[in-house]
């Protein structure tokens, strides 16, 4: 095959959707992927039910991106959740809104959608080259790849899109090795950090042995003025889960500055403190505290164990004090899981390094999309939504550049 018009490095959602848009516009597109097959992390994410995006109002969805909202907003408004649903429906992966507002394909898996997607790309003439490790540029500016069968492959393209992901789950292909290559070219990179990951807690031996793997259901977590309803999971080394992930950014930054962070867990968010106190005042003579917490407060054994950890085993008997503890049980977090175990990555290429077309200002003709960019969001469909939207935005930028150069 002759050199393509556009070389896309990375076969995750951002790279694949950009390839589709560019090939549909008549460009010759080649995708280079270091792994033996494409979209490995996408497939892993789909094992438990592929959460494509979220159905909440667009302004609320945009707020999930925090400080990055301002520069991500044009891309997401141009390819919003409904556009992503329409695209999935067009591949036969009809979507639906779950009870939590999250949007899934009815098959609840990534593999059928990916098979249909790759077939569409093949029909558009997109060339997929697996087993190609990108190693940078040669002296003439051409792309260099190290194929699995040794040697070196040189590719000259009119435009390049980098969609190499962050550094979470490196065994699936995204290990952050691109940071060195771009830094050598003068591109500023915000340090890659774990996002949507669990946190370390110095549980007692009893807590680790008896309650590791136990869920905390229908709880609310509070930290730094934010409150999140959801669930969490106790593990031997700490705590994780969707509600924890939603607060991972501020928790991570506080731990980095202060060495620890104290999370408040409301174990009965459906009851007020006063209502709980009334219930707890009705303890029968001789009733154990465990039974009292289970019957009067409706706490699971794991939730009761969290209270005991917070008080070193000395729970207050006075109803108001006990109710206050149930509504705000403190849990001291001392660290965050390693980036290799995180669901996603914070940090990456800052907005100041790209133009409105997602092209690197220091490397004309080189565009970026997806998790390489410096943004983070909680789980719930927000991660894939931004990856798809930035991939589409970068594709539109490439089309404009090639059109103006024609």
Same domain, 272 and 356: no
Domain with 358 in it: 6-193+345-405
Rounded to two decimals, what is the model's pTM? 0.93
Q: Are residues 175 and 218 in the same domain?
A: no
Residue 1: inside a domain: no
Q: In the structure encoding, which two tokens stand for residue 367, read together?
A: 């565009």
Residues 14 and 141 in one domain: yes
Same domain, 187 and 203: no
Q: Which ranges of 150-263 does DSSP label H, i.e. alpha helix?
A: 178-183, 205-211, 242-246, 248-258
pLDDT at position 406, please?
65
Per-residue pLDDT at 150: 77
- Residues 33 and 165 reside in one and the same domain: yes
CATH number, domain at 13? 3.50.50.60
Name residue, tokens 């979470």.
Answer: 168
Least confident of 18-22, 126-130, 148-152: 148-152
Of the residues 318, 336, 354, the one at which a domain ends: 336
Q: Do both 101 and 128 map to the same domain?
A: yes
Tens-place pLDDT, residues 193-223? 999 999 999 999 999 999 999 999 999 999 9
Examine residue 94 and state whether it is found in any structural domain, yes or no. Answer: yes
- Which of 277, 312, 336 corresponds to the end of one domain? 336
Instruction: Report pLDDT digits (tens) over 266-295.
Output: 999 999 999 999 999 999 999 999 999 999
With a cut of 80, say whether residue 46 has pLDDT above it.
no
**Domain closes at, from 336, 358, 376:** 336
- So what's the pLDDT on residue 330? 98
Which candidate, 97, 389, 341, places its Cα nearest to that of 240? 341
Per the structure, the count of domains in the chain is 2
Element housing 315 (H / E): none
Alpha helix positions (H), 281-327:
289-296, 301-310, 319-327
Residue range 227-247: mean pLDDT, rounded: 95
Cβ pair 47, 364 in contact under 8 A: no
- Please, which residues bridge with residue 227 across strands? 222
pLDDT of residue 151: 84
Percent of the chain with pLDDT over 90: 93
Q: Kindly state whether residues 76 and 184 are assigned to the same domain.
A: yes
Per-residue tokens: 159 = 């435009």
Q: Is the pLDDT confidence value at 358 over 70? A: yes
| Residue 319 and residue 349 in one domain | no
Q: What is the pLDDT of residue 59?
A: 97
pLDDT for residue 44: 87
Res 117: pLDDT = 98
352 with 223, same domain: the answer is no
Residues 251, 356, single domain; the answer is no
Residue 209 burial (CB count, 10 A): 10
Which pLDDT tens digit goes with each residue over 83-106? 999 999 999 999 999 988 999 999
Residues 166 and 30 in one domain: yes
Residues 119, 211, single domain; the answer is: no
């Amino acid at each position: 095959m002759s050199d393509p018009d556009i070389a896309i490095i990375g076969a995750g959602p951002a790279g694949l959707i950009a390839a589709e848009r560019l090939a549909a516009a008549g460009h010759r597109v080649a995708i280079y992927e270091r792994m033996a097959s494409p979209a490995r992390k996408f497939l892993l994410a789909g094992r438990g039910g592929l959460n494509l995006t979220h159905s909440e109002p667009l302004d609320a969805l945009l707020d999930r991106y925090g400080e990055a909202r301002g520069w991500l907003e044009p891309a997401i408004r141009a390819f919003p959740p409904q556009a992503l649903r329409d695209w999935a429906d067009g591949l036969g992966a009809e979507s639906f809104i779950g009870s939590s507002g999250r949007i899934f394909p009815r098959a609840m898996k990534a593999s059928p959608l990916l098979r249909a997607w790759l077939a569409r790309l093949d029909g558009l003439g997109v060339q997929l080259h697996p087993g190609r490790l990108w190693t940078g540029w040669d002296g003439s500016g051409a792309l260099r790849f190290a194929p699995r069968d040794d040697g070196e492959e040189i590719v000259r393209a009119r435009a390049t899109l980098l969609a190499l992901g962050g550094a979470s789950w490196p065994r699936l292909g995204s290990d952050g090795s691109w940071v060195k290559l771009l830094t050598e070219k003068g591109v500023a990179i915000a340090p890659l950090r774990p996002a949507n990951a669990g946190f370390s807690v110095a549980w007692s031996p009893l807590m680790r042995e008896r309650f590791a793997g136990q869920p905390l259901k229908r709880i609310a977590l509070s930290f730094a003025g934010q409150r999140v309803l959801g669930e969490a999971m106790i593990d031997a080394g700490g705590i994780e889960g969707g509600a924890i992930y939603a607060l991972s950014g501020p928790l991570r930054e506080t731990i980095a500055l202060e060495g620890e962070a104290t999370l408040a867990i409301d174990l009965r968010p459906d009851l007020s403190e006063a209502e709980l106190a009334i219930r707890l005042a009705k303890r029968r003579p001789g009733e154990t505290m465990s039974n009292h917490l289970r019957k009067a407060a409706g706490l699971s054994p794991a939730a009761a164990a969290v209270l005991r950890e917070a008080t070193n085993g000395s729970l207050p008997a006075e109803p108001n004090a006990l109710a206050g503890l149930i509504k705000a049980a403190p849990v001291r977090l001392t660290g965050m899981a390693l980036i290799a175990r995180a669901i996603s990555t914070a940090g990456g290429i800052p907005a100041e390094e790209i133009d409105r077309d997602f092209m690197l200002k220091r490397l004309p003709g080189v565009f970026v999309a997806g998790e390489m960019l410096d943004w983070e969001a909680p789980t719930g469909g927000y991660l894939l939504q931004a990856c798809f939207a930035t991939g589409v935005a970068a594709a539109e930028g490439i089309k404009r550049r090639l059109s103006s150069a024609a």
